[in-house]
Amino acid sequence: MFPISFGSDNHSGIHYTVISALQKVNVGFCPAYGDDPLTAAVLAQLEALFGGDAAATFVMTGTGANILALQSVLSSFHAVICADTAHINVDECGALQKCIGARLMPIKTPDGKLTPKLIAPLFLLDRDQHHSQYKVISISQSTEYGTLYTLEEIRALADFAHEHGLLLHIDGARLANAAAALNCSLKELTKDAGADIISFGGTKNGLLFGEAIISFVPELSQDIRFYRKQITQLFSKMRFISAQYEAYLTRDLWLECARHANAMAGLLAEKLAEFPQIKLVNKVEVNSLFVKMPAAWIPILQEKYLFYTWDEAKHIVRLMCSFNTLEEHIEEFVESVRELAHSK
Amino acid sequence: MFPISFGSDNHSGIHYTVISALQKVNVGFCPAYGDDPLTAAVLAQLEALFGGDAAATFVMTGTGANILALQSVLSSFHAVICADTAHINVDECGALQKCIGARLMPIKTPDGKLTPKLIAPLFLLDRDQHHSQYKVISISQSTEYGTLYTLEEIRALADFAHEHGLLLHIDGARLANAAAALNCSLKELTKDAGADIISFGGTKNGLLFGEAIISFVPELSQDIRFYRKQITQLFSKMRFISAQYEAYLTRDLWLECARHANAMAGLLAEKLAEFPQIKLVNKVEVNSLFVKMPAAWIPILQEKYLFYTWDEAKHIVRLMCSFNTLEEHIEEFVESVRELAHSK
Amino acid sequence: MFPISFGSDNHSGIHYTVISALQKVNVGFCPAYGDDPLTAAVLAQLEALFGGDAAATFVMTGTGANILALQSVLSSFHAVICADTAHINVDECGALQKCIGARLMPIKTPDGKLTPKLIAPLFLLDRDQHHSQYKVISISQSTEYGTLYTLEEIRALADFAHEHGLLLHIDGARLANAAAALNCSLKELTKDAGADIISFGGTKNGLLFGEAIISFVPELSQDIRFYRKQITQLFSKMRFISAQYEAYLTRDLWLECARHANAMAGLLAEKLAEFPQIKLVNKVEVNSLFVKMPAAWIPILQEKYLFYTWDEAKHIVRLMCSFNTLEEHIEEFVESVRELAHSK
Amino acid sequence: MFPISFGSDNHSGIHYTVISALQKVNVGFCPAYGDDPLTAAVLAQLEALFGGDAAATFVMTGTGANILALQSVLSSFHAVICADTAHINVDECGALQKCIGARLMPIKTPDGKLTPKLIAPLFLLDRDQHHSQYKVISISQSTEYGTLYTLEEIRALADFAHEHGLLLHIDGARLANAAAALNCSLKELTKDAGADIISFGGTKNGLLFGEAIISFVPELSQDIRFYRKQITQLFSKMRFISAQYEAYLTRDLWLECARHANAMAGLLAEKLAEFPQIKLVNKVEVNSLFVKMPAAWIPILQEKYLFYTWDEAKHIVRLMCSFNTLEEHIEEFVESVRELAHSK
């Protein structure tokens, strides 16, 4: 029905295992709003996966996960330090400002990644009653720019945050891709690296919907269940999120899907290397490529493939792979590029 | 796995047609956030069903539908007049106050239903700069108390609202049940009766998730798409809501499910009439019964069936049927009651 | 220029001592926003007056004082229990809902006064994730209905609040009148009676502007200075509030003004007792009278005197005295009443 | 009591004419909240001064004026474009985010001044449902950096705003200083230059408190009186703001005060030119100087004079004059500088 898409990992569908899980749990009756044993079990499984001492909470959307995670630790007079490319800054229509009343303090970065060095200048100025108080450093792992924090880089940010009395939040809409790329566990990637509150995304990696918030500061986020309802993120038929997550965790489906998406991006990069007219802007670390190509090619390719221009002036496009990107999609795309490359 | 539930219509699962629809649309790639032809087509179908000149919007949850519908027509200094039993007043953890900053003006009613006569006293007092300004009358159809507004009653409320410069909002989480009971079309039930903005629920009536907001004042709610994102209710993989609604509208599945749920409630009432110890509190109009029974029976029945006590002091319980309540569930329940009735 | 007013105690002007204080402090330069020694000294004086261990904060308006006091101890998912006649419920245009995002739980009372017995039914129902959580009981002392809580009544409410994990807030816009009437200290009226956070009004009792928040839970309200700025209640030229409060506290000006206002209300009640056509609705406890009078008299008197109808249907009016009500104002008013009484 | 201050124009006191006006209006009783003839008259006078077709509103604080002006024309999904040095961005503790739920889009500028050229790049990117929608360009006149927009520059920004469907807001906390410096009328500076909504400050220029909002889009800001109450900015004893503004407008006191403050800053600049160790960072256009001086001098001078360091690294300080800065203050300061200059 629709063309092949490298537009976003949310252009993909649902993993068949997840559909099966929905069907399997679709029997009889079940208490709503999470008061069911399946939900309790899957939350416990998630908490164990992140290393224990965590509190897991399900929400419906990625923006919901970010806003609720931050709401649970912020007051309205707080500020969140983030990269200026962060989803919370760019793509959430001011949800944080509306729902929390707090402000963002976005920082320009070369590659979508914050560092203590980039943040430090903020702390040179006094912040008195006239100023929002810094409370959270929020990073995206992997970033909106397709880049990746190493475990050491996360640790350095967590240490910096804690030294200044702040918390480290990870927008993990693509945390699975990061774990796959870094070949580490979710625990190593978050708790062990010092993160305080994170989201663990599912929708972009094979689920129908449903995101998990993992808090390592449960005493700070004890009120999360009230905020969840209040920002309209409490799902009634919760067993259907739980069942998806059960499938997602079984035999590491989350990892398999993420590895596949990453591998497809790697393959695409490899094959595009054939064309001198195309330049990779960043190293391909997870499931997206940012490539510069001749301006004239873009609209021609977009007739056949879904993908977005990232920087019009520099004719950079983003190509994103997902769990259901196939080798033949890539071959077809590369073939189309080859035609363009040889057409003149 | 779980016992038979008369606890809520959100204890039920997903209609098999809806599961099939999810599977059917789960092919290939698709633009996200509603930018796909299926979504456009299903929204148009919905708008036609409600009589044209409407604007339909999909959200994820029932509370999301209420809050977004009201947000689209309210400023923070406004007040919403509602029954004190209204879901927005009782069961949404203050979502309206947080998300909109507005206030509720709840009114006590005998049966969950507002009337112009009950509302009129509010307009005897001046409302100047010290007071929130009335802007919306919000009713639930059917109500949280299992009662039903007739078309004439809705019309009277709409006329009252419009005469006073207000709008009429319908929380239609169970609008399907109301239409089934009144044997009228959705258009007759809303637009023709003078309603301005309504929600048309799906989750309690066989869908997995997804609610529709129908606005007959599109000029007032033109900004709804921005508010939707900002309150975290924009779904990325929108085709999967649209596919559910396509199934829901096909051969009037919504109506069939609602009729069944209503009929089961009627059957249950009929069968319980056998027991002089049990008294119906309200006439059964849609899919729920409020019944008074011997206090001692309640915990015994609750060991085997899921249902909730509505009024502890008066030992009134709520029994709710849904699209997947079967006659044998009712027979089994009645048999259990019979055992209790004969046990002494 | 304007007629004699019994309309409100904010129809009165500024005590001449306060004007003098403004002039006296109007020399040279002074750090802004409260960073000056006078402000520090006056806040300390206030804190001592309320019994130590308190934290005092200046704001500009009475609504500002209520909202900031409550903001400092509430999250958005909380509910505040109050009388339905409370200023925060009736007269603040939904400021609490907008600024805090929380909700009110107003309770009908016979006389503007809450009691544990009136509140207790709220605690019979479970409050789970679907419901705002009760956090504060807010009372007005004296009430908007001209009534007064005894010290024992406040203590009972404080005990009830604390037993249920709640705090007791006092809207003390007219706390001075209450202390004068009860012949007790401000400490006895608040800290000793178990109150947690209160406002101590000045504007209605001889000041130009400026209200004080006194918190006995400084650890809960430690962030009050940030919230103060954020809700636009931080005054730049703070010395001019401090100077007014210095005058207000000197030789108990606050008490003298309040006693006078109360005495004038007593005198007016005494003199109106002459007329069998006039009935006092409540006992006169502080500086206002609620009186029922022949409907025809009201507009005639309102031609010459400023005062407001409280209940149109029952022709009850409110007559309020203030620090600058004089005996001759009362005599003149009574004379006008006498003319009416004898005119037929 | 306090040392001479070049710290801020809110370190100054109240003009004696204003004190007199407070005393003069302090007679008898007066309706509250602006329902008095003096307030009506002074608002009309203000509206006439700004050229008619304007709607004037009084508030208490400068932050209150900014937030209320913007609230009256913004929805929560909107964004305000401003210089990153703007008071609303830097000094209001996130009041806009909390009170309005909207976001700021701050832009780096060389001199605190926005230009169409600096703003234009924002409009290169699509803003769809994922993004806050630009609605207002907000400038400060004079700026926080002591610089000034010419009438042509304001006109260019207003035209740019209107072409893009936006409004132009002016934070005019120091609008009087700007008018004095540009030698133009308030009408020429605002309405004639295309501004839509502005604040006209008083507190920094000789008043005790009280700011005016002037709206040239009354249809957009018709709800301002409700928002004013809701954000706690409605003053009860309004006649005391009106009386101050009456004095402020009489014989152009506002202009006289502003001219004096500007002249004192000019004089200070002139005298400091004597010292080769001191460099003016900007041309002195209104009432503040930004000067670079030897780092060692700063703490020595701060022992005797109140003023703030603007840029620690570059040892730039801000010296601000006000209506009550006297020539002898400047001479004394210059003498102190001279001692330092000659001390080695």
In which order are the strands placed within the sheet that holds B316-320? Answer: B279-280, B288-292, B316-320, B308-311
- Kindly list the distances between the CA atom of residue B281 and the CA atoms of B79, B87, B111, D148, D184, in Å, as whole numbers in the listed order: 31, 20, 10, 73, 76
| One domain, residues D43 and D113 | yes
Contact B77 D227 (CB under 8 A): yes
Regarding pTM above 0.95, the answer is: yes
- A78: three-class secondary structure by DSSP: strand
Q: How far is A225 from chain C (nearest CA, A)?
A: 6
Token pair 């309405």 is found at D191
Q: How far is B104 from chain C (nearest CA, A)?
A: 9
Antiparallel, parallel or unpaired: β B55-59 and B78-83: unpaired
| One domain, residues C321 and C209 | no
Contact A223 C33 (CB under 8 A): no
| One domain, residues C185 and C331 | no
Separation CA B136–CA B171 (nearest Å): 12
To the nearest whole percent, how much of chain B has pLDDT over 90? 95
The residue among C219, C251, C283 that closes a domain is C251
Residue D138 binned pLDDT confidence (cut-offs 50, 70, 90): very high
Q: What is the pLDDT of residue B344?
A: 65
Q: What is the pLDDT of residue A125?
A: 83
Q: How far is D247 from chain A (nearest CA, A)?
A: 30
Interface A-D, measured as beta-carbon pairs within 8 A, has a size of 59
- Mean pLDDT, to the nearest integer, of A179-205? 98
CATH of the domain at D54: 3.40.640.10
- Kindly list the distances between the CA atom of residue C232 and the CA atoms of B152, D93, D100, D108, in Å, as whole numbers in the listed order: 48, 9, 12, 26
Give pLDDT tens digits for A39-50: 999 999 999 999
Antiparallel, parallel or unpaired: β C167-171 and D279-280: unpaired
Separation CA D109–CA D89 (nearest Å): 13
Q: Measured between CB atoms, which of A29, A60, A93 is closest to B61? A: A60
User: Which residues fall within 8 angstroms of residue B73, CB to CB, at 6 or more apart?
Assistant: B135, B136, B167, B169, B196, B197, B217, B220, B221
- Return mean pLDDT, chain B: 96
Answer yes or no: are the C-beta atoms of A45 and A246 closer than 8 Å.
yes
- Mean pLDDT, to the nearest integer, of C57-63? 98
Separation CA A320–CA A308 (nearest Å): 9
| One domain, residues B260 and B321 | yes
- Mean pLDDT, to the nearest integer, of B29-42? 96
Separation CA D253–CA D260 (nearest Å): 11
Contact C231 D13 (CB under 8 A): no
| One domain, residues C52 and C166 | yes
Separation CA A331–CA C23 (nearest Å): 84
**Can you spell out the DSSP letters for A83-99?**
ETT-HHHHSSTTHHHHH
The residue among A251, A271, A294 that closes a domain is A251
- Mean pLDDT, to the nearest integer, of B190-199? 97
| One domain, residues A285 and A326 | yes
Interface A-C, measured as beta-carbon pairs within 8 A, has a size of 45
Assess if residue A153 is contained within a domain. Answer: yes
Please, which residues 98-137 of chain D have a Cβ atom closer than 8 Å to chain A?
A: 98-99, 101-104, 124, 129-132
Q: What is the pLDDT of residue A221?
A: 76
H or E element: which one contains B152? helix B151-163
| One domain, residues A277 and A228 | no
Q: What is the pLDDT of residue C64?
A: 98
pLDDT at D1 over 70: no
Contact C130 A33 (CB under 8 A): yes
Residue C344 binned pLDDT confidence (cut-offs 50, 70, 90): low
Contact A229 B63 (CB under 8 A): yes
Q: One-letter amino acid identity for D162?
A: H
| One domain, residues A60 and A196 | yes
Q: What is the pLDDT of residue B1?
A: 54
- Mean pLDDT, to the nearest integer, of C150-157? 98
Query: Hey, which chains touch C, using 3+ CB pairs under 8 Å?
Result: A, B, D
Contact residues, chain D, for C8 at CB < 8 Å: 32
Antiparallel, parallel or unpaired: β C167-171 and C197-200: parallel
| One domain, residues D175 and D91 | yes
Q: Peptide bond before D142: cis, by omega within 30 degrees of 0?
A: yes
| One domain, residues C197 and C276 | no
Domain of residue A276 covers 253-342
Structure tokens at D108: 């780096």
Number of domains in chain A: 2
- Mean pLDDT, to the nearest integer, of B29-51? 96
Give pLDDT tens digits for A275-318: 999 999 989 999 999 999 999 999 999 999 999 999 999 999 99
- A76 inside 8 A of chain D by CB: yes
Assess if residue D10 is contained within a domain. Answer: no
Q: Measured between CB atoms, which of B94, B99, B102 is closest to C94? A: B102
Q: What is the pLDDT of residue B282?
A: 87
Chain C: residue nearest A128 by CA? Answer: C226
Assess if residue A3 is contained within a domain. Answer: no
pLDDT at A1 over 60: no
Q: Peptide bond before C12: cis, by omega within 30 degrees of 0?
A: no
- D57 inside 8 A of chain C by CB: no
- Mean pLDDT, to the nearest integer, of B295-305? 96
> What angle is formed at CA D235 by the lines to CA D229 and CA D236, rounded to 5 degrees?
105
Give pLDDT tens digits for B233-287: 999 999 999 999 999 999 999 999 999 999 999 999 999 999 999 999 989 999 9
Q: Measured between CB atoms, which of B29, B93, B226 is closest to A4? A: B29
Assess if residue B4 is contained within a domain. Answer: no
Contact B230 D130 (CB under 8 A): no
Answer yes or no: are the C-beta atoms of D139 and D115 closer than 8 Å.
no
Q: If we measure between CA atoms, which residue out of C103, C44, C53, C33 comes closest to residue C221?
A: C53
Separation CA D255–CA D15 (nearest Å): 13
Q: What is the DSSP letter of C276?
A: T
Separation CA D198–CA A186 (nearest Å): 52
Assess if residue B27 is contained within a domain. Answer: yes
For B208, left (φ over 0), alpha (ψ -120 to 50), or beta?
A: alpha
- Kindly list the distances between the CA atom of residue C76 and the CA atoms of A143, A227, B229, C134, in Å, as whole numbers in the listed order: 31, 8, 20, 11
Contact residues, chain B, for C66 at CB < 8 Å: none
Chain D: residue nearest B34 by CA? Answer: D129
pLDDT at D344 over 70: no
Assess if residue A6 is contained within a domain. Answer: no
Q: What is the pLDDT of residue B219?
A: 83
To the nearest whole percent, how much of chain C has pLDDT over 90? 95
- D3 inside 8 A of chain C by CB: yes
Contact A76 D92 (CB under 8 A): no
Q: What is the DSSP letter of B13?
A: -
Contact residues, chain A, for C235 at CB < 8 Å: none
Give pLDDT tens digits for B61-110: 999 999 999 999 999 999 999 999 999 999 999 999 999 999 999 999 99
Q: What is the pLDDT of residue C305?
A: 97
CATH of the domain at D280: 3.90.1150.10
Chain B: residue nearest A23 by CA? Answer: B19
Assess if residue B144 is contained within a domain. Answer: yes
Q: Measured between CB atoms, which of B77, B133, B229 is closest to D129? A: B229
Give pLDDT tens digits for B121-163: 999 888 899 999 999 999 999 999 999 999 999 999 999 999 9
Separation CA B205–CA B202 (nearest Å): 5
Contact C2 D237 (CB under 8 A): no
Structure tokens at D287: 């009432």
Answer yes or no: are the C-beta atoms of D306 and D202 closer than 8 Å.
no
Interface test with B, best of C85, C96, C97, C99 (most B CBs within 10 A): C97
| One domain, residues D133 and D281 | no
Contact B103 C124 (CB under 8 A): no
The residue among A231, A251, A271 that closes a domain is A251
Contact D103 A90 (CB under 8 A): no
Assess if residue C6 is contained within a domain. Answer: no
- Mean pLDDT, to the nearest integer, of A255-279? 97
Interface test with D, best of C207, C236, C319 (most D CBs within 10 A): C236
Q: If we measure between CA atoms, which residue out of C246, C300, C333, C257 comes closest to residue C14?
A: C257
Q: For C8-23, give one letter per residue: b (16+ CB within 10 A) or e.
A: bbbbbbbbebbbebbb
| One domain, residues C233 and C327 | no
CA C318 to chain centre: 16
Please, which residues 201-260 of chain D have a Cβ atom closer than 8 Å to chain A?
A: none
- A303: three-class secondary structure by DSSP: helix
